[in-house]
Amino acid sequence: HGHPAVRATAVAFPNIALIKYWGKRDEALIIPQTSSLSLTLAVYPTTTTVTLAADGEQHQVLQDGAPMPQAASVKVARFLDHVGQLAGSSRGACVETSNAGPTGAGLASSASGFAALAAAAAAAYGLDLSSRDLSRLARRGSGSASRSIFGGFAVWNAGTDDLSSYAEPVSDAHVDAAMVLGIVNAGAKPISSRDAMRRTVETSPYNAPWVETNPTELALMRDALRRGDFTEVGEISERNALRMHAAMLGAVPPVRYLTAGSMALLDAVAELRRGGLEAYATMDAGPNVKTLCRSADAPAVRAALAAAAPGIEFVIAESGPGVAVSGPDDA
């Protein structure tokens, strides 16, 4: 209809939470029950290009050149409708996305995915958003994506509504941390984090204490980051992950992402500590174990874990950057 075809591309990286987000207060707006804090990684980026089509044209969603599975592409189309509404546009869009890492395996592909989509779609539709508003927009796709707008450590303030729920950088962190990702299983998770969270909130007797203890744990974490106390950061991170899994294990029926392979890695990480190498485990909506360590120790931690768990692939992930956008350009 006479519009030039406008296109924008964004690259975003996954993040792993040290204080976890688990459970929503508002499902439609994705307002979490609690605040969370994460480290953005320098591996497994998502690259997403959004090209605007004509007015009223249907959205099209391609992953690695092929149509995305129905459920996922519906989520993306709804997200594009929201961005179009913000921009006062009814143009359709073509989304082309690809993940350098595994998708839907608890390695934060939804975080990098919706952070990249938010940035590319906002640019293509001509929205000039502050990083706070971009974080709020990414949150509407996937809660954890709000944090991948930023590099390094980021905190997502739970807030109480759409305006007050956004992430921002932790500007006073003095810890040089990396993660060693142990790929126990790169397959898709058995239950989506969205469904698993809802079940935890609705049925787990441990949800209330999980929520109640969050402010203190987050405050202790922020203080430890400020003081550069890596040991404290690690201890809080590991117990926070275990408490999140405890909350979901209490659901009816129970939600269990951890497998025997995950437990073996937890043992291996504890063994490293006994040997004097400081390392702490964290696990998300999947069996994979991410080991937090000092950046300088990452090669030694990787080698020790590889020796303890032969057959498992370990990937070193340093602290990574926030989302980067190029465009909009004429396609």
Q: Would you tell me which residues interact with ligand PMV (CB under 6 A)? A: 17, 20-22, 36, 110, 142-144, 193-194, 284-285
Give the nearest distance from C-beta 227 to ligand PMV in angstroms: 23
DSSP of 211-251? HHTHHHHHHHHHHHHHHT-HHHHHHHHHHHHHHHHHHHHTS
Give the nearest distance from C-beta 243 to ligand PMV in angstroms: 12
Q: Are 144 and 110 in contact (CB under 8 A)?
A: yes
Q: Choose between 32 and 84: whose C-beta lies nearer to ligand PMV.
A: 32
Q: Choose between 110 and 165: whose C-beta lies nearer to ligand PMV.
A: 110
Within 10 Å of residue 261's Cβ, how many Cβ atoms? 17
Q: Are 197 and 24 in contact (CB under 8 A)?
A: yes
Q: Choose between 96 and 284: whose C-beta lies nearer to ligand PMV.
A: 284
Which H or E element spans position 101? none
Give the nearest distance from C-beta 275 to ligand PMV in angstroms: 29
Q: Choose between 106 and 327: whose C-beta lies nearer to ligand PMV.
A: 106
Burial tier of 256 (Cβ tally within 10 Å: 0-12, 13-18, 19+): middle
Q: Choose between 194 and 227: whose C-beta lies nearer to ligand PMV.
A: 194
Q: Choose between 149 and 285: whose C-beta lies nearer to ligand PMV.
A: 285
Give how far Cα 73 sits from Cα of 60, 68, 95, 106, Å: 8, 6, 10, 19
Give the nearest distance from C-beta 36 to ligand PMV in angstroms: 5
Give the nearest distance from C-beta 207 to ligand PMV in angstroms: 14
Give the nearest distance from C-beta 151 to ligand PMV in angstroms: 16
Tell which residue, 242, 241, 186, has the closest CA to residue 16: 241
> Sheet of 153-157: strands edge to edge?
15-19, 36-40, 153-157, 166-169
